[in-house]
Amino acid sequence: MPIKVAIVEDLAEVRDGLAELVASDRELLLVECFENAETAIQKLPVLHADIVLMDINLPGMSGIECIRSIKEKCPLTQFMMFTVYENDEKVVQALQAGATGYLLKRTEAPRILESIKELNQGGSPMSSNIARKLLNIFFDKKKANKKEILSERENMVLQLLADGLLYKEIADRLNIAHGTVRQHIHNIYEKLHVTNRTEAVNKYFERD
């Protein structure tokens, strides 16, 4: 049974190119093309498409807003962004809206076809630099979470530890007692679940 594909793209040349590409593969069935999100929202629920290739920058409602609006009405349909946008904000918004794939428009035709089939089989195909962006966002968030665990003064102490300063040097730099530095470091070790300076610095800054 062929994979039913719909396209939401306002640029005629891109839309026609995608339509021709999908129609060229015997494993895929093009069910409809839409020029805007508003029409797609009306018609997609009755088409029961397996995959929707969705542009972000559409006239009127954006592709991301379209997915948010229609996702519950099309629970079995999967959405793959097909866009020029590769900034962190758009990527995260699209995935939060319910997209499960993200391809850039410069993606080669064979990879587009492969990604449609991969998405239908339960994968989450993404352009390589989009996947890297998501990893960076993930690690930045982990690092931010660690900073939230520690107090502002503990963050300062740990940064100075990472810079190689001794306890006395840290005390002098922050104008606090040597014993206070020891207490801060004890608290840092407990909060990060480590036992020494090296483990604390490596865990905090994601070093191997």
pLDDT band at 107 (very low <50, low <70, confident <90, very high): very high
Mean pLDDT to the nearest integer, 141-163? 77
Q: Which of 187, 191, 192, 190 is nearest to 203 (CA)?
A: 192
Question: What pLDDT shows up at residue 146?
Answer: 57
- In angstroms, the CA 168 to CA 193 distance is 24
Residues 55, 92: one domain? yes
Question: What pLDDT shows up at residue 64?
Answer: 95
Residues 90, 186: one domain? no
Residues 17, 97: one domain? yes
Residues 130, 165: one domain? no
Residues 75, 17: one domain? yes
Residues 50, 119: one domain? yes
Indicate the range of 63-77, 93-107, 126-140, 177-191 predicted with least confidence: 126-140
Range of the domain at 128: 3-134
Tokens of 135: 């990893």
Q: Which of 12, 38, 62, 66 is nearest to 52 (CA)?
A: 66
* Res 145 pLDDT > 60: no
* Res 148 pLDDT > 80: no
Cβ atoms 35, 10 nearer than 8 A: yes
> Is 179 within a domain?
yes
What is the CATH classification number for the domain harbouring 162? 1.10.10.10
Mean pLDDT to the nearest integer, 107-113? 95
Residues 163, 197: one domain? yes
**E-assigned strands of 68-186?**
78-83, 101-104
Q: How many domains does the chain have?
A: 2
pLDDT tens for residues 165-184? 989 999 999 999 989 999 99
pLDDT, greater one: 32 or 89: 32
pLDDT, greater one: 85 or 118: 118
- In angstroms, the CA 12 to CA 200 distance is 55
> Is 145 within a domain?
no
What is the CATH classification number for the domain harbouring 76? 3.40.50.2300
* Res 208 pLDDT > 50: no
Mean pLDDT to the nearest integer, 107-135? 85
pLDDT band at 108 (very low <50, low <70, confident <90, very high): very high
Whether the full predicted model's pTM is greater than 0.85, yes or no, is no
Question: What pLDDT shows up at residue 96?
Answer: 87
